[in-house]
Amino acid sequence: MNTRVDKLVRDAMVWSHLAGDTVLRLKAVSKLDFPHAKSRNTEAKVTTSEAAE
């Protein structure tokens, strides 16, 4: 196989894997229930120390 083609194939596998990993992480984070998250009706102020907990 041509070395340039081989590199393109390897890069495609790596980048598609990285993109898929990011999408899965975003989906997982979107499903988390944050107790201090802002809702439409109330504004919750969260300090940095509360957010870290």
Query: What is the percent of the chain with per-residue pLDDT over 70, rounded to a whole number?
Result: 58
Give residue-wise pLDDT tens across range 19-41. 788 777 777 777 767 666 555 54
pLDDT of 38: 58
pLDDT higher at 35 or 2: 2
pLDDT of 11: 87
Three-state secondary structure along the chain?
A: CCHHHHHHHHHHHHHHHHHHHHHHHHHHHHCCCCCCCCCCCCCCCCCHHHHHC
20/50 Cα distance (integer angstroms): 31
Query: Is it the case that residue 42 has pLDDT exceeding 60?
Result: no
pLDDT of 44: 53
